[in-house]
Amino acid sequence: MTNLPLFENETGTRRNEPLGPGATLLHGFALADETALLDAIKAIADDAPLRNMVTPGGFVMSVAMTNCGTLGWTSDRRGYRYTEIDPITERPWPSMPACFTALATGAAATAGFESFIPDACLINRYAPGTRLTLHQDKNEQDFSQPIVSVSLGVPAIFLFGGLKRSDKTRRVPLVHGDVVVWGGPDRLRYHGVLTLKENHHPGLENYRINLTFRKAG
């Protein structure tokens, strides 16, 4: 099937919306790759199953997660960290598919971050009723490297905060195919995802999947 360019503007290019000095929303940037992305996600989850991790405080996260790449983000009672081995399968995380790396590197370059090469991709799966509370991503080595996030499936409302948890948040709707690049002064902003509403997406049922690409090591 061919993807028609439904979200092009009058110049024939997709809309790139600045959310901050180092944050850009690339509307529909992942649409051309959706079939390859969904197939690759299924293969990864067959190898390293989606699971509900436990926070250091003992809460089971409502979002189901897995990883691909040389490093994978995990959480348990001992803390948050990146590991080379999946603690469930006790094998390395599945390797990063070429279509993932190309998408992340291309999105970062489009947003002004040249030569971004991710070594970790966290796959988050949201069912209706699940959410991600406000947090910062601070487990990576080098905060000068951006984070690239790809939204697939049912729409969600993303919360974009400030550098303090108590700072005012902005609500940003994210739909299937949207890619956001977060870097520079926006890299350590608090962020989260509001409780997912019941919705249907052809190919992803009532789920939202988010891919978060990082240079973790």
Question: Residues 6 or more apart from 139 whose CB is under 8 A from it?
Answer: 73, 80, 81, 82, 216
Identify which of residues 5 and 217 has a Cβ nearer to ligand MD3 in the complex.
Answer: 217
Identify which of residues 31 and 145 has a Cβ nearer to Fe ion in the complex.
Answer: 145
DSSP 8-state class, residue 21: T
In angstroms, give the least distance from the CB of 1 to ligand MD3: 26
In angstroms, give the least distance from the CB of 198 to Fe ion: 24
Closest to 139 in 3D by CA, of 191, 87, 83: 83
CA distance 5 to 67: 30
CB–CB of 150/97 below 8 Å? no
CA distance 5 to 197: 27
- Report the 10 Å Cβ neighbour count for 124: 21
Amino acid identity, position 96: M
Of 27-35, 79-87, 134-142, 176-184, the window that binds Fe ion (rule: CB under 5 A) is 134-142
In angstroms, give the least distance from the CB of 77 to ligand MD3: 19
Coil, strand, or helix at residue 2?
A: coil
Q: Which does 176 bind (CB under 5 to 8 A by kind): ligand MD3, Fe ion, none?
A: none
User: Quick check: 140 binds Fe ion (CB under 5 A)?
Assistant: no
Task: Give the residue, chosen from 137, 140, 178, 186, that forms a contact with Fe ion under the rule CB under 5 A.
Answer: 137
Provide the binding-site residues for ligand MD3, judged by CB under 6 A.
122, 124, 132, 137, 147, 149, 180, 182, 186-187, 189, 191, 193, 210, 212
Coil, strand, or helix at residue 39?
A: helix
- 10-49 positions binding Fe ion, by CB under 5 A: none
In angstroms, give the least distance from the CB of 47 to ligand MD3: 20
In angstroms, give the least distance from the CB of 78 to ligand MD3: 19
Residue nearest to ligand MD3 (CB): 210
Question: Residues 6 or more apart from 199 whose CB is under 8 A from it?
Answer: 128, 154, 155, 206
User: Quick check: 86 binds Fe ion (CB under 5 A)?
Assistant: no
Q: Which does 149 bind (CB under 5 to 8 A by kind): Fe ion, ligand MD3, none?
A: ligand MD3
Identify which of residues 30 and 180 has a Cβ nearer to Fe ion in the complex.
Answer: 180
User: Quick check: 186 binds Fe ion (CB under 5 A)?
Assistant: no
Cα 134 to Cα 161, 163, 164, 188: the distances in Å are: 8, 11, 10, 12
Which residues bind to Fe ion, rule: CB under 5 A? 137
